[in-house]
């Protein structure tokens, strides 16, 4: 089982949904970086369950404990170990699911691979494991803040068929983030946030769920991050995003529209702005040939509807006998609002990893 993300900056994560805790070890994090624990805790708070009426009612404080690698408010260069305890697991809610394979979950695949699975809340496949991504990404953002001017923005682009039509690529990211967090949908447009909230509530009332999209934007990324073959920046960013539970697709820049375009309309034309190469458009999402070009990183991440629904569905069990399953327990009717900080911090972790690798790529 692979539990490691990163190439130079490496996160090794551990934990299950209903185990003792979720945590990880962060290796090769630079020394002497000021560590703002309030910032890290704030990122955890943004994905915490029970913080909104349209999220799961599971109540977790998600208080981070730093076990090593930080001394007197700064990183020491040693491995950073961290832990968040699970405090409100209700394993009995999953008793009936011990032998049944839930539709669109990892139950069958895990059982087929290992011959054993932790059925309580999905075990290692639970979205609760993303705590380690949020923490590692928050550390990465503290590092990048010291050495660059990068800014990260993630927000809900759509819920079901309701889509925020705004173009925020060149906006004020900190202010836009504040706006997104004024509502529990995490959408910048207040009008579309209200419509989306109603759709989520309607899905929950019907015992169903709904999917959506998150837009990722990263500003002030230096040109030259990434590699032309096998370790492309956009390929690894997509890899990391696809490892977030419920993600079913990623689109870099205007990638979804690319197959319908002509080269004359899709090409990003270079020009000089403020003494630096820039492009008039950004259809490629800030990456060309696997390497960043200095334009903002833009990526759309699509999430499926939460597969645990409060409706009866046919399935089979571990004896290959037919059965019926109906969701119990506490679940999000739509995962995208709580996934916003996961996306932003995962992007920061990948970007910090590539930034550190780039230091090794050339003499100057």
Closest by CA to 185, choosing from 203, 208, 206, is: 203
Q: How confident is the model at residue 59 (pLDDT cuts 50, 70, 90)?
A: low
Are 163 and 202 spatial neighbours (Cβ–Cβ below 8 Å)? no
Instruction: Indicate the SS3 state at residue 8.
Output: coil
Query: Is pLDDT larger for residue 93 or for residue 224?
Result: 224
Residue 221: DSSP 8-state: P
pLDDT given for residue 121 in this prediction: 67
Q: Is the pLDDT of residue 1 over 60?
A: no
pLDDT given for residue 125 in this prediction: 82
Give the mean pLDDT of 32-56. Answer: 88
Are 325 and 307 spatial neighbours (Cβ–Cβ below 8 Å)? no
Q: How confident is the model at residue 58 (pLDDT cuts 50, 70, 90)?
A: low
pLDDT given for residue 359 in this prediction: 85
Q: Which residue has the tokens 């040939």?
A: 289
Percentage of the chain with pLDDT > 70? 93
Give the mean pLDDT of 10-29. Answer: 93
120-165 confidence digits (pLDDT tens)? 767 788 888 999 999 999 999 999 999 999 999 999 999 999 999 9
Domains present along the chain, CATH in parentheses: 4-358 (3.60.150.10)
pLDDT given for residue 90 in this prediction: 63
**Per-position DSSP letters for 227-255, written without gaps between them:** -SSSS-HHHHHHHHHHTSTTEEEEEETTT
- Which of 92-96, 131-135, 245-249, 271-275 shows the lowest mean pLDDT across its residues? 92-96
228-265 confidence digits (pLDDT tens)? 999 999 999 999 999 999 999 999 999 998 999 999 99
What is the CB neighbour count within 10 angstroms for residue 100?
A: 19
Closest by CA to 64, choosing from 119, 137, 155, 156, is: 137
pLDDT given for residue 148 in this prediction: 96
pLDDT given for residue 68 in this prediction: 98
Query: Is pLDDT larger for residue 288 or for residue 361?
Result: 288
292-333 confidence digits (pLDDT tens)? 999 999 999 999 998 888 889 999 998 899 999 887 766 789
Are 123 and 17 spatial neighbours (Cβ–Cβ below 8 Å)? yes
pLDDT given for residue 83 in this prediction: 96
Rounded to two decimals, the pTM is 0.93
pLDDT given for residue 120 in this prediction: 76
């Amino acid at each position: 089982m692979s539990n490691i993300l990163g190439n130079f900056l490496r996160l090794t994560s551990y934990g299950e949904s209903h185990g003792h805790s979720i945590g990880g070890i962060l290796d090769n994090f630079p020394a002497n970086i000021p560590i703002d624990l309030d910032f890290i805790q704030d990122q955890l708070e943004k994905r915490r369950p029970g913080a909104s009426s349209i999220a799961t009612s599971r109540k977790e404080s998600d208080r981070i404990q730093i076990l090593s690698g930080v001394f007197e408010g700064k990183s020491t260069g040693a491995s950073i170990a961290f832990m968040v305890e699970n405090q409100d697991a209700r394993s009995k809610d999953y008793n009936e699911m011990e032998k049944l394979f839930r539709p669109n979950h990892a139950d069958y695949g895990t059982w087929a691979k290992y011959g054993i699975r932790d059925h309580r809340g999905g075990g290692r496949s639970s979205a609760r494991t993303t705590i380690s991504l949020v923490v590692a990404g928050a550390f990465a953002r503290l590092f990048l803040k010291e050495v660059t001017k990068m800014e990260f923005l993630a927000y809900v682009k759509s819920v079901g068929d309701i889509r925020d039509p705004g173009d925020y690529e060149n906006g004020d990211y900190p202010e836009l983030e504040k706006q997104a967090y004024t509502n529990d949908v995490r959408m910048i447009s207040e009008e579309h946030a209200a419509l989306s909230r109603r759709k989520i509530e309607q899905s929950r009332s019907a015992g169903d769920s709904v999917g959506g999209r998150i837009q990722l934007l990263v500003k002030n990324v230096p040109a030259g991050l990434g590699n032309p073959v096998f370790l492309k920046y956009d390929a690894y960013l997509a890899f990391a995003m696809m490892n977030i539970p419920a993600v079913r697709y990623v689109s870099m820049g205007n990638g979804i529209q690319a197959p319908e375009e002509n080269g004359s309309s899709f090409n990003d034309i270079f020009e000089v702005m403020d003494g630096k190469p820039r492009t008039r458009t950004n259809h490629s999402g800030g990456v060309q040939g696997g390497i960043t070009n200095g334009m903002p990183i833009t990526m759309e991440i699509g999430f499926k509807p939460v597969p645990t629904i409060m409706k009866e569905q046919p399935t089979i069990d571990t004896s290959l006998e037919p059965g019926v399953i109906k969701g119990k327990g506490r679940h999000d009717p739509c995962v995208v609002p709580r996934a916003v900080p996961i996306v932003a911090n995962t992007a920061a972790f990948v970007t910090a990893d590539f930034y550190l690798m780039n230091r090794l790529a050339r003499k100057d």
